[in-house]
Amino acid sequence: MELYGSYTSPFVRHCRIALLQTELECEFLEIDATQSATLSPTKKVPLLVDCELKLTDSTSILTHLYELVGEGFLTDLEEVELYHMTNTVLDACVNLVLLAKFDGITADQSVYLTRQKDRIQSGLEAINNKTFSQALPLTQAETRLAVFLDWAIFRNQISLDAFPALQQLLDLAQTDPIFTQTAPKE
């Protein structure tokens, strides 16, 4: 198997965590935005190639990896909700970062980006009110959340000062060597 991605992408990081957890054999190939635009029809990372199988989304990749080792991925409804709510907030955050990077457009110049910014804030508030694991291992949804928080802080997009439950979850995630080993780096 080959996983294509970057060392900064939170979606790719979740897949790198899964590869370390499952100990599946897979080559990691670092690619940039130009290469992902040619390699993947979605022009995004991650991309997983397993013989004839080509998977273009982190959720299908994670489902495949855990299936290979006989484990399910996201089976509980509350977990599914947390996972997708986190992804919605994460997508909004990625949107803000990429529009600033590619086009120099920031929220103060765009009505829709202001809506995205508000979505991040209200999403974080709602997620902060949920109940999380107090010890490792984290659930898959909590892992996605911790990966998102770590990336958004790395990109200076959020602060957790007003979100103690989120800070506590991130602190717990950081006691996991696989989590720290996969931290975003340029």
Neighbours of 98 (CB within 10 A): 12
- Smallest distance from ligand GSH to CB 134, Å: 28
Of 46-75, binders to ligand GSH (CB under 6 A) are 46, 57-59
Taking CB under 6 A as the criterion, the residue among 1, 4, 11, 65 binding ligand GSH is 11
Say if residue 48 is exposed, middle or buried (CB neighbours under 10 Å; 0-12, 13-18, 19+).
Answer: buried
- Tell me the residue ranges of DSSP E strands in the chain: 2-5, 27-30, 47-50, 53-55
Nearer to ligand GSH, 29 or 98 (CB): 98
Query: What is d(CA 30, CA 120) in angstroms, rounded to the nearest whole number?
Result: 28
Nearer to ligand GSH, 139 or 168 (CB): 139
- Smallest distance from ligand GSH to CB 48, Å: 10
- Smallest distance from ligand GSH to CB 60, Å: 8
Number of residues forming the site for ligand GSH (CB under 6 A): 13
123 binds ligand GSH (CB under 6 A): no
- Smallest distance from ligand GSH to CB 43, Å: 5
Neighbours of 156 (CB within 10 A): 8
Stretch that binds ligand GSH, among 36-44, 70-78, 166-174, 177-185 (CB under 6 A): 36-44
Q: Give the number of C-alpha atoms closer than 13 A to the C-alpha of residue 168, restricted to the C-beta side.
A: 13
Say if residues 158 and 121 touch (Cβ distance below 8 Å): no
Nearer to ligand GSH, 82 or 172 (CB): 82
Of 78-117, binders to ligand GSH (CB under 6 A) are 94, 98
Q: Is 71 helix (H, G, I), strand (E, B) or coil?
A: coil
Distant-in-sequence contacts of 30-38, Cβ < 8 A, 24+ apart:
30/5, 30/6, 31/4, 31/5, 31/6, 32/6, 35/4, 36/4
- Smallest distance from ligand GSH to CB 64, Å: 13
Which positions touch ligand GSH (CB under 6 A)? 9-11, 36, 43-46, 57-59, 94, 98
